[in-house]
Structure 1
Amino acid sequence: MRFFWSAGAALLVVAVASGCTSSQPVTGRFTAVIPLPSSSAPSTAATPLPADLPADLSVEIEQERSDYGIRQLQVRVANGGATPYAVTNVTFGSPNFVVPVGNTEPGRVLPALSLDFPVLLPAPVCSGDRSASPIVTFDWSAGAETGRSTVVPADPLGAMKRINGEDCLAESVAGIVDIAPAAHLRVDGSGAASVAHIDLSLTPTGGAGSVVIDGVGPTTLLAPAGGALSWPLALAVDAASAPSSLTLDVEPGRCEPHVIAEDKRGTYLPLTVTVQPAGVSGTYYLPLGDAEKAEVYSWLADHCGFGASP
């Protein structure tokens, strides 16, 4: 059971199964909502704009780990009242992205529940004034009442700042160097004695500036062979650099079947980088390709001795 804060009036949200009975279909993921004392409320709350938000409803945005790779955001509409609400035409917009995006799938937000409306994020905006708040707009109906509400959603986990920071760091890195994993995993040995090798190529684009790759961190699935805490690199790349390559020698991060079964980010390599002359540092996440990802799973199954990969 996973607990997390919902938007608005201090709601603790508890994940529940989708076996609720209703004469109307329920779409998306939904969660039980338990009111808490106002003193326990998070500091960030949804803010109604000119179109009023019904008092029963609150809105927040969140990105779960399974959303990262596909660049998806969850718009969560919570119903703290006693009346079901039909919600549709959910639109999300932010100065951090080039265009608004939407989800036209209708959903029924039952009393004391919340419902997630996923939207796929467009390309980022990394220049100009991006200080304006994100906006969520949606149509709703409850009994004979209907309306269209526009709201600044709560962002209790700071998703907007994190996503824009990662997006713009990745854009800066890609403008200077193309970092690409090999198409396939290399493996020496077999079983528990095997060591995997992830090959990366670094090709300068000719763009201005430089990128220093300080190192690569471990993931839930992948760790440096030999027990080191990370792969230190200290590589600097700019327009004058020649194309190069490097190899990460890998052992399993954890030999537990559920770690692979529940994997969300285990094949995203976290590179610690600094981009100059801006002096911006952060983590650049490099995903392995589909074929190499599948080979990682197979190698882990063989190395750890728990049979076929998922």
Structure 2
Amino acid sequence: MTTVATGWRRRGAAVTAAAALLVGITAGALTACAPQGPGSAQPSPSATDLPEGVSAELQQGRSDVAARQAQVVIANATDETLVVGDLEVADPRFDGAIVRVNDRDSRIGPGRSVGVRVQLPAVACGDDVPSDDAAESVLTLAYVLGEVSGVATATVDDPLDFVGPLHERDCRAAAVADAANVTLSDFDPSPPGEPATLTMSVAPTGRGAVTITGIQTTNLLTFGTVSQTTVETWPLDEAVRPGDTGRVDIALPLLPLRCDPHAVQEDKRGTIFDVEVELDGEPGEFELAASEDLRGQILTWVADWCGFGG
């Protein structure tokens, strides 16, 4: 028992020392290098590659989306236990470092992998941000592997290709917000067999132009009347021009797309809508989410409308 405890204290001390080295290296790199634009960072020349047999990827699952998080999935194909301390990912498409959510060490046994949850900062937009083809995500982490400790840096892949679409979508949302504040502002429930009313509000800022051309069905909700065929997109034609003022409220006829109880009980993205827009003559989409209060009202209504509410 004493041997195990002593060994773990030594290992913990090594991770702590490696984490301190990571902080020092990061600080030194920021001091030595001139800024390269929003969210940019250079891997420290003092760090080494990932140990042989250790690999990492940046992934985002469906359960990560609402909290704006992702996971650094670290695989340990060695014969030793890998302990990972502080880590961060630098990517010029984000306005800051991607850092782990929990301040703790992660133990990864031989032949196993662990997803370390990380928080995504706001995106960086502008002409000085590299394209998705040119941008890289660079991981820096403090580790102990067997009797070896250190700080490693490596470019990590995005096998699910979530960073590029996220960056494009959020920058488009920022451009829309510069022209108008678009929100889901109200909800009026309905009895079974009739559509409810979801209100989208568009408040121009006076600074820019955007045309809202449609709002898409989610995996839980659709638009229209009970008698019509389900639509993928409810068409809209709300144009905002520079200098416009005054809020416009758009009434959307809302219906449940499905009535199986588990769809409501396990809902994660049923009240997040893709809104179709046109900016500078180019079509695109951005995500518009209901507030937590509005989401609760909508899910309660779906349960009642479908006949399985409390």
Q: TM-score range by the shorter chain?
A: 0.7 to 0.9
- Once residues 287 and 230 of structure 2 are traced to their aligned partners in structure 1, the CA distance between those partners, rounded to angstroms, is 20
**Counterpart for residue 306 of structure 2:** 304
CA distance in 2, matches of 1:73, 1:138: 16
CA distance in 1, matches of 2:129, 2:247: 36
Partner of residue 106, structure 1: 105
Task: Kindly report the root-mean-square deviation, in angstroms, between the aligned alpha carbons of the 2 structures.
Answer: 2.0
Counterpart contact for 2:189–2:298, Cα < 8 Å = no
Q: Which residue of 2 aligns with 1:206?
A: 206
Q: What's 1:158 paired with?
A: 161
Q: Give the AA of the match of 2:264.
A: I
For the pair shown, which has the larger CA radius of gyration, 1 or 2?
2
The answer to whether the aligner puts 1:134 opposite 2:124 as a matched pair is: no
8 Å contact 1:90–1:117 — kept in the other structure?
A: no
Alignment partner, residue 268 of structure 1: 272
TM superposition shift of 1:81? 2.7
Corresponding residue number in structure 1 for 2:222: 223
Q: What secondary structure, in the 3-state scheme, does the structure 2 residue paired with 1:167 have?
A: helix
Asked if 1:255 corresponds to 2:252, the answer is no
Whether contact under 8 Å (1:177, 1:238) holds in the other structure is no
Q: 1:228 offset after TM fit, Å?
A: 3.9
**Aligned to 2:159, what secondary structure does the other structure show?**
coil
Once the 2 structures are TM-superposed, how far is the Cα of residue 286 of structure 1 from its aligned partner?
0.6
Q: Whole-Å Cα distance in 2 between the matches of residues 280 and 80 of structure 1?
A: 46
SS, match of residue 123 in structure 2: coil
Instruction: State the Cα deviation string for residues 124-161 of structure 1 (Å, max 9, x = none).
Output: 11111324411111111122111211011011122221
Q: Write the distance in 2 (CA, Å) between the matches of 1:258 and 1:83.
A: 42
Alpha-carbon contact 1:193-1:303 (below 8 Å) kept: yes
Confirm or deny: 8 A CA contact 1:90 1:138 kept in the other structure: yes
Q: Which structure dedicates a bigger proportion of its chain to strand? A: 1
Q: Percent identity?
A: 31
Report the counterpart of residue 82 of structure 2 in structure 1: 85
Q: Deviations over 1:222-256 (max 9, x none)?
A: 11132341210122112243431101101101111
Aligned to 1:146: 149
Alignment partners' CA distance in 1, 2:140 and 2:88: 5
Q: How does 1:23-172 map to 2 (within 5 A)?
A: 51-103=48-100, 104-127=103-126, 128-130=128-130, 131-172=134-175
- Structure 1: 4+ residue segments shifted above 3 A: none
**Do 1:223 and 1:251's aligned partners in 2 also have CA atoms closer than 8 Å?**
yes
Gaps of 5+ in 1: 1-23, 25-48
Cα displacement string for residues 70-91 of structure 1 (whole angstroms, at most 9, x for unaligned residues):
2112111111233221111011
Aligned to 2:289: 287
Q: 1:32 maps to what in 2?
A: none
User: How high is the TM-score relative to the length of structure 1?
Assistant: 0.78
Equivalent position SS for 1:83: coil
CA distance in 2, matches of 1:280, 1:109: 46
Residues 247 and 79 of structure 1: CA distance in aligned 2, closer, same or farther (over 3 Å): same
| Letter paired with 1:84 | T
State the shift of 1:282 in Å: 1.9
Structure 1 residue identity aligned to 2:201:
S
- Relative to structure 1, is the Cα distance of residues 132 and 193 closer, same or farther in structure 2, using a 3 angstrom cutoff? closer
User: What amino acid maps onto 1:120 in structure 2?
Assistant: Q
> Matched residues in 1 for 2:98 and 2:161: separation?
19
Cα distance between partner residues in 2 of 1:159 and 1:297 = 27
| Bigger Cα displacement from structure 2, 97-106 vs 56-65 | 97-106
- How many residues align? The count is 257
- Listed one character per residue, the Cα deviations across residues 249-279 of structure 1 (whole Å, up to 9, x for unaligned) are 0110111111112211110111011112xx4
Q: 2: CA distance between counterparts of 1:155 and 1:87?
A: 20
